[in-house]
Structure 1
Amino acid sequence: MEFTHYAMLALLLVVLVLFVWGRWRYDVVALMAMLAVVLAGWVPAQEALAGFGHDAVITVAAVLTISRALSNAGTVDLLTARIMPLTRSRTLHIASLSLAVALASAFMNNVGALALMLPVALASAAKRERPPGLLLMPLAFGSILGGLATLIGTPPNIIIATYRADRTGDAFAMFDFLPVGGLVAVIGVLFVSLIGWRFLPRGIGSAKSSHVEIDGYICEVRVMPDSPLVGEQIGGAGTQLGDDVMVVGLVRGRDEYQHPHAWRRLEEGDLLIIRTDPESLRPLIEKHSLELVASKLSGLENIKPEALRLVEVTVPPRSVLAGRDSAYLRRRTGHTVSLVAMARAGASMRSRLRDQQFRAGDVLMLQGEPDTLDDSIADLGLLPLAERDIRLNRPMRALTGLAVFIGALVLGATWVPISIALLMAVVAYVVIGLLPAREMYRDIDWPVLVLLGGMMAVGQALQETGTTDMIANAIVQVAGDLSPLWILTLVMVATMALSNVVNNAATALIMAPIAFVVARQLEVSADAFLMAVAVGASSAFLTPIGHQSNTLVMGPGGYRFNDYWRLGLPLSVLIVLVSVPAIAWFWPLS
């Protein structure tokens, strides 16, 4: 083994460690790796940058944008509207939600499909008085399983298809993944719905409608005549009250709610609705001559809903709030949105919210001006947990959106590359008004695109330096006299293990060239090994960090890190048992 091989393996190991460590986001790590292979002279600079214009990158971006257009059109709502009658029994409830999200995610982004179904699941859980934790992990797993069925269902499938095109000149077609991926998806959803949910811990979550409890640290205080706050602007009063206190509402006169703008001046008798830590409440009252009115929000009972909006949202992995704090939230929204409460992994956080950095999966209770709160939530990339309005009164829009999408798939299968066909669909959605131009790029997960472009250079370096051949030789030698089918199984299991700790797209980019060379050295069909990588890379069920869908339901479902393997491990074993024979049947090794 040459020095270049050692250096390339060392770089690959460092990249994997950085992915798992999470100190820097995966796109930053990918850029570091790309720069390293360029500076080492393994990949020319122009070729390294060419990855950002690769078909796989364009296709992923187009799919994310189309997901927004289909959501705007209400196409998925036609499906979700028929779910409620099927939720009477627990098994049918889980099955209907999981099947619906699987069907949606076969043709749109996994996380986008889950985001559309999440409010439906929470609303149906509240109506049937079932804990959200019973539904949300099966829902997340259903969104991952559905993506296995088609080319555009998940980024690993797109990567595998384009890699095959680069090596053989012929890409996998739209429904080439269906025989194996569709079978795995159907059996996986049936398992999760009929048996798998029973592996979840007893009493997971609760049947409450809200995920954050605000009574414990939201209270009302009245401004007394001798209070030093009389005549002060709310902005200045907030400074006097301290960093642990946030004014979230003002009631003046006969239950007349007023938004707590910083410029409003306080008057004697005003009722302040404040968020504060319980241990800070008594010193606050004594110092500022305030009177505690009630521990519950009695002053809010007579306020019209349109005057005060408290909205629960969850932080998805790609939100700009991930890794930020409440001060950034206020600055980003022009001080029009306040963080009232917060829950993490199902538990309300009762102290020092100002010191907390938001994480993917957190559930936030936000308060803001009714006219601008929805726009602020969209700008921050947050997902509301309230029930969405299902737009049944616009079936033509839904059917039009579906027709454009089907037309793009037909064009991609018969005339132009799928990336071009999907871009044509994006333009069509803008022209017919289903996708406003200002929303064209809102749902594009830019870090994932940077990850794809950067890691393609690393994959090229693996091949140019001969490291891929060296790794493949080692695998074949270690396998000894094992049959090619057993080696294929080992490749799939290794890919699944890597995907649970590393982004699934990065996993596919690393494992695809290795699997291809292993197949060539065994003198068997490379298609079977590439299919094994596609299934393995999209089977991240053991941890909440393995897939964005898993992370997204952690907070609303009240899950802990160790809850995922209880359902994920038997599901992963089942996927291997089903997919390996299916690959051997539909994509023969010989």
Structure 2
Amino acid sequence: MTTEQIMLFAILATALLLFAWGRWRYDVVAVAALLAAVVLGIVPMREAFQGFGHPAVITVVGVLILSRSLRNSGLIEWLTRVLRPTTGRPTSHIMALSGLTAACSAFMNNVGAMALILPVALQSSHSSKRPASMILMPLSFASLLGGLITLIGTPPNIIIASYRGGETGEAFGMFDFSPVGLGVAAAGVAFVSLLGWRLLPTERQGEVEGKSLFQLEDYITEVRLPEGSSYVGRRLVELETLAQGDVAVVALVRRKDRMLAPSGYLRLQAGDILIIESDTAALQRLAKQAGLDMVGEAELSAENLRSERVGLVEVVVTPGSRLEGRTARSLRLHTRYGLNLLGVARQGHPITERLGQVRFLAGDVLLLQGERDAMPEAFQALGCLPLAERELPLGRRGTSATAPLIFAGAIGLVAFGVLPPHIAFILAVLVQVLTNAISVREIYDAVEWPIVILLGAMLPVGQALEATGGTAVISDPILGLAGSVPPWGILTLLMMVTMLLSDIMNNAATAVLMAPIGVSIAQGLGVSIDPFLMGVAIACSSTYLTPIGHQSNLLVMGPGGYKFGDYWRMGLPLDALILIVAVPLILQVWPL
């Protein structure tokens, strides 16, 4: 190997380890890898940031924005209402929701589709008295399966199509993925609906939705502010600051008035009774420091902590949100967003001590109290997802056909070759802004910037892998098997390696790295590159073995109460099924 190849492989190996470690965000790792390649002279400086203007990156941005406009339209909410009568039996229940999720994911961002269906799934599991864990993992996997169907279903498809355009002069079209993608998605949805959910641990299946993760009654206490307290006349926020975010004042009783979720700027008066949610140790520290009198346990339930003005809502921390990696104290949840943090649950188990110091992770479920009117804006700013459809609107009220029609028009322009995808979808975004189907602010909120940064940074690194001859170094040992292994066997091996990589690093980054390797192998075998690119596309989106493989998997981890090791139980046989179904389909549709 040359010096350049050794340095590039060292950069990629380090990046792979950091992706798997998960301590640093994947976009930060990608930028670090790019800058290392530039400094070492592997990527020319003038080409360092050309990836951010790549058509694949622009297409991903356009699809993310158009996905948000579809959520606003109310179309998906209407479809879920139509499907509700099918939830009588577990199999039909899971199949209906999984089929809808897969269909949405074919034209929307996977996480966007999952975010739309998740509250509906939780509500339907509650009404049918079935555990959420029975339903949510199949939905997550269905969102990934649906992305296989079209060009815009998932970023790896867009990257693979663009790479094929660079190699042959003609990119894969909008529905070129459909013959194979539909077959794999249909088989996968049938598997998760009929058999997959039965493979989950029985203790997870027995946890019926509707049993709250949070037993607030055990942590609610009344304290009185006496005349001699130094906090008489001071603002409530000063008392909360003293507690370092470890207590939440859920209500304040002043004479005959009871105020739920009182403002942090309310001035305290002698005789005020504060109803506090906290663990015993934190409460005792606060009472001692502020000179509060203990009254005793408050006889309140969760229902007493909500009213027409004040809501009590469970939300899930989404990957890449402002909450991830932060604490309630550092975010100043109450003073900045008007939200009281009453509980945190991780992998189905509540965390009961020092809530203000808990560093939130993607998939955590938070119980928040606040004013209903202010909650939607606060949740949007924080990037969290409310889990109760009945509590808060998921998008704009009412159903509008404007956004779906504009989106359909853009798809038609791409399908008939009138405009390339990156132009057609950005044009659709402009039309939607002009028709008020989406606001300018929502455009910037809709873009998952970590994905954009990841793609823009990794594309030059992937191109360097090919330019330095690194792809040949990787593909030559595989080509050495050609004498004893048929081409379909090598294709299967390539897909298996890609599947394993995508389970520990972002699937878009996997596509950037594996596409040139697939092409190198095909050229070495003297066969068409199309089946190998299609195989890489299918495998990149087969991230079913771990929760860290894809954001959809993380999104359901908390609400479903899943553990890290639960995913492979359904994911491993699903991966095997995908190989069994996909390889013959690929070779039939895209002959060698």
TM-score, L = length of structure 1: 0.94
Separation (CA, whole Å) in 2 of partners of 1:229 and 1:41: 62
Shift of 1:455: 0.7
- Structure 1 residues 338 and 577, CA gap change in structure 2 (3 angstroms): same
Counterpart for residue 194 of structure 2: 194
Alignment counterpart, residue 373 of structure 2, candidates 371, 374, 378: 371
2:572 aligns with one of 559, 566, 569? 569
| 2:110 paired residue number | 110
Partner of 1:318: 320
* Distance change >3 Å, CA 508–CA 274, structure 1 → 2: same
Where does residue 411 of structure 1 map in the other structure? Answer: 413
Deviation readout 1:468-488 (Å, 9 max, x if unpaired): 122111211145421110000
User: Residue 82 of structure 1: SS of its match in structure 2?
Assistant: helix
In the other structure, the counterpart of 2:521 is 518
Among candidates 359, 362, 371, match of residue 360 of structure 1: 362
Q: CA deviation at 1:3?
A: 2.5
Q: Is the 8 A contact 2:247 2:355 kept in 1?
A: no
Query: How far, CA to CA, are the matches of 1:10 and 1:241 in structure 2?
Result: 47
Partner SS state of residue 148, structure 1: coil
| Residue aligning to 2:494 | 491
* Paired letter, 2:425: L
Match of 2:463 in 1: 460
Name the structure 1 match of 2:272: 270
Deviation at 1:449, TM superposition (A): 0.7
Q: In 1, distance between residues paired with 2:583 and 2:426?
A: 34
User: What is the match of residue 151 of structure 2?
Assistant: 151
Q: Quick one: distance in 2 between partners of 1:357 and 1:246?
A: 17
Question: Could you tell me whether the CA contact under 8 Å between 1:155 and 1:505 is conserved in 2?
Answer: yes
576-585 vs 274-283, which deviates more? 274-283
The aligned runs of 1:140-179 (5 Å cut-off) are: 140-179=140-179
CA distance in 1, matches of 2:145, 2:303: 44
The whole-number CA distance in structure 1 between the counterparts of 2:394 and 2:311 is 21
Matches within 5 A, 1:157-236: 157-204=157-204, 205-208=207-210, 210-223=212-225, 229-236=231-238
Q: Is the 8 A contact 1:134 1:197 kept in 2?
A: yes
State the one-letter code of the partner of 1:216: D
What SS class does the counterpart of residue 367 from structure 1 fall into? Answer: strand
| Greater mean deviation of Cα atoms: 537-546 or 264-273 | 264-273
Q: 1:252 to 1:192 in 2, by over 3 A?
A: same
CA apart distance, 1:32: 1.3
**Cα distance in structure 2, aligned partners of 1:333 and 1:57:** 37
Deviations 1:7-52 (A, max 9, x none): 2222221111111112221111111111122222222222231110
Aligned to 2:504: 501
Displacement of 1:339: 1.7
Q: Which moved more, 1:157-166 or 1:329-338?
A: 329-338
Which residue in the other structure is 2:530 paired with? 527
Output the CA distance in 2 between the equivalents of 1:129 and 1:293.
35
Between the aligned partners of 1:90 and 1:52, the Cα distance in structure 2 is 45
How many angstroms apart in 1 are the aligned matches of 2:431 and 2:144? Answer: 28
CA contact (8 A) 2:237 2:335 kept: no
* CA separation of 1:478 and 1:40: change in aligned 2, threshold 3 A: farther
Shift of the 367–394 alpha-carbon distance from structure 1 to 2, 3 Å rule, reads closer
**SS, match of residue 126 in structure 2:** helix
Hey, what's the Cα distance between the residues in 1 that align with 2:188 and 2:582? 11
Q: Which whole-Å CA distance do the structure 2 matches of 1:241 and 1:33 have between them? A: 42
Q: Find 1:560's aligned residue among 563, 570, 573.
A: 563
Q: Is the counterpart of residue 28 in structure 1 residue 31 in structure 2?
A: no
Q: 2-side partners of 1:41 and 1:240: how far apart?
A: 53
Q: CA deviation at 1:458?
A: 0.7
Over aligned residue pairs, what C-alpha RMSD do you find? 2.2
Alpha-carbon distance between aligned partners in 2 of 1:255 and 1:101, rounded to the nearest angstrom: 47
TM-score (norm 2): 0.94
1:229, 1:412 → 2: CA distance?
65
Question: Structure 2: which 5+ runs fail to align?
Answer: none
Structure 1 CA distance for aligned equivalents of residues 517 and 584 of structure 2: 21
How far apart, CA to CA, are the structure 1 residues paired with 2:252 and 2:511? Answer: 54
Question: Per-residue deviation at 1:289?
Answer: 4.5
Distance 1:6 1:303 in 2: 61
Distance 1:12 1:406, change over 3 A: same
Query: How far did 1:264 drift?
Result: 2.3
CA distance in 1, matches of 2:449, 2:395: 29
**Deviation at residue 129 of structure 1 after TM alignment:** 1.1
Deviation at 1:68, TM superposition (A): 0.6
| Deviation sequence 1:251-280 (CA, Å, 0-9, x none) | 223343154333323334433121211344
Q: Tell me if structure 2 keeps the 8 A contact 1:227–1:290.
A: no
Q: Is the 8 A contact 2:156 2:511 kept in 1?
A: yes
Distance change in 2, residues 1:372/1:166 (3 Å): same
Gaps of 5+ in 1: none
Say if 1:285 and 1:292, in contact at 8 Å, map to a contact too.
no
Shift of 1:320: 1.3
Contact 1:77 1:392 in 2 (8 A): no
CA contact (8 A) 2:547 2:567 kept: yes
Q: Aligned pair 1:584/2:572, yes or no?
A: no
